Amino acid sequence: MNWLDVFIVISNFSYIVPITGLLLYNRRIDFQLKFILLLYLTISFIPGILSEIIPFSAKISYMVINIYTLIAGIFVFGIFRLFFTEKKNKQLTWILGLMFLITSIYFAITENGFSHSNTIPYIILSLSVMFLVLYYFRSVFMKLEIIELTKHLPFWISSAMLIYFGSTIFFSLFEEILRGSDNWVFYYTFQIQLSATILFNILITIGLWRTRQTYC
């Protein structure tokens, strides 16, 4: 087992920390947000665990990734829908979510099901999430209703999403070029993706820890 394998295991299992935090400690989070976040983290956790147990073929890997993207995407839009209080912002989340769903289904039908690399739905999801995060930050900044931003769970979730999707979208956009590259480039990009996952879970955990005494 070399250090990269260790890194992969850490990345795959890093979801356990926020999941445990949600289940055991944080009772102050709104039930809907807690439920959707828990589902999202669990769904994100499953593919990594499966890959540790069952060695995937390329075809199965694509299938798992595509199905994961579709389901996780729905939960991501669900999470953002809870962050916004205005009706028009909620509608905007619905529209983006619907766009993502239609595109995913369209590519699944036209690109021989889920067994091939469907990067476009993932790019749409990443762009939508980045847009929603920035839109959320803007609305928070305009209202100035939150006194302590760092004790507000949606801020941490948004930051985690922005860093995660902001870093992985770049490599999805240029997947074709990177796929034909040297070994070191693959390892490098892979490490960045693993780091993004770990950072995502760390940020969510910090958010849960910071909000343990405040309602959100």
Rule CB under 8 A: say whether 77 interacts with another protein. Answer: no
CB 53 within 8 A of CB 71: no
Which of 204, 213, 161 has its CA nearest to residue 18?
204
Rule CB under 8 A: say whether 131 interacts with another protein. Answer: no
Rule CB under 8 A: say whether 123 interacts with another protein. Answer: no
Rule CB under 8 A: say whether 149 interacts with another protein. Answer: yes
What does the longest C-alpha to C-alpha distance in the chain come to?
A: 52
Residues whose CB falls within 8 Å of the CB of residue 142, separated by 6 or more in sequence, listed in order: none
Taking the complex as a whole, how short is the minimal distance between the CB of residue 147 and another protein, in angstroms?
6
Q: Site size for another protein, by CB under 8 A?
A: 25
Q: Which residue, 54 or 134, is less far from another protein as judged by CB?
A: 134
Rg (CA), the chain: 18
Using CB under 8 A, which residues numbered 162 to 191 contact another protein?
Answer: 162-163, 166-167, 170-171, 174, 177-178, 180-182, 185, 188-189
User: Cα separations (Å) of 3 from 51, 116, 124, 131?
Assistant: 17, 29, 33, 35
Contacting positions for another protein (CB under 8 A): 137, 140-141, 144, 147, 149-150, 159, 162-163, 166-167, 170-171, 174, 177-178, 180-182, 185, 188-189, 192, 196
